[in-house]
């Protein structure tokens, strides 16, 4: 067990709030775009909302239990959430389903850009500070950095074109309708979720570092 200090609890609180809000935005984006495209499955479940409660009720383990436990034992935070959709709607409108799938990562990248804008603006206006002796950022700076890092990670990871990640459905945007339906026959007709997730995690660990460095250098380092 880690040493539970006030600093540890404050850091964990910041991470959990960022995780909860970012994941809620991700799933709400899926639900909203699906509703606009004609599938109200998630909307009827109350998921077109930035209120995290409906999302937590749908995935209590992924939204509450596992994130908190993972932070307590590893100082990192992992978790998951989901938004339901109608498989028949997906087959009828594969491109709409692709846009719905990509809406989640798009929400994460939007939050990442807002966090970067907040950091740059706060820095230039003198609102954000880093302790000159310890190098520790103040709470607003820490919170914005966490939002930036977490949403870059979530958006990038979910774009991987392997099931069950959003990229596996997002690539249908570049297919003809008939090809997309054949692809769905293959994708949904097999239990690839666990294998795809393992492949995604293995691949992600090798290419995310350069992606993170590029995004951080482009959006932040030149201004800090």
pLDDT at 7 over 90: no
Active-site pick, 27, 59, 90, 177: 27
Measuring CA to CA, how many Å separate 47 from each of 25, 89, 107, 151, 186?
10, 18, 15, 20, 28
Element (H, E) at 49: none
Q: Name the pTM for this structure.
A: 0.93
- pLDDT level of residue 196 (50, 70, 90 thresholds): confident
CA dihedral over 110, 113, 118, 119, signed as positive or negative: positive
Give the 3-state secondary structure of residue 22: helix
Q: Phi, psi (5° rounding) for residue 165?
A: -75, 160
7 given a catalytic annotation? no
Dump pLDDT digits (tens) for 108-152.
Answer: 999 999 999 999 999 888 888 887 777 788 889 999 999 999 999
Give percent of the chain above pLDDT 90.
68
């Amino acid at each position: 067990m880690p040493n539970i200090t006030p600093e540890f609890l404050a850091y964990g609180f910041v991470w959990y709030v960022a995780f909860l809000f970012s994941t809620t935005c991700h799933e709400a984006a899926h639900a909203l775009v699906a509703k606009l495209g004609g599938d109200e499955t998630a909307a009827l479940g109350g998921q077109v909302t930035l209120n995290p409660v409906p999302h937590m009720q749908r995935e209590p383990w992924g939204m509450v239990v596992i994130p908190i436990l993972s932070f307590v034992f590893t100082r990192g935070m992992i978790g998951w959430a989901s938004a339901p959709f109608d498989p028949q709607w997906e087959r009828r409108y594969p491109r709409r389903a692709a846009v719905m799938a990509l809406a989640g990562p798009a929400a994460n990248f939007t939050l990442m850009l807002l966090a970067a804008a907040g950091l740059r603006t706060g820095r230039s206006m003198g609102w954000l500070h880093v302790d000159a002796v310890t190098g520790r950022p103040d709470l607003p700076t820490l919170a914005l950095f966490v939002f930036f890092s977490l949403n870059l990670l979530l958006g990038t990871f979910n774009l991987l074109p392997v099931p069950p990640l959003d990229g596996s459905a997002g690539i249908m945007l570049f297919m003809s309708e008939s090809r997309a339906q054949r692809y769905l026959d293959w994708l949904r007709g097999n239990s690839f979720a666990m294998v795809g997730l393992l492949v995604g995690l293995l691949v992600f660990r090798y290419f995310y570092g350069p992606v993170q460095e590029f995004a951080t250098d482009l959006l932040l380092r030149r201004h800090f």
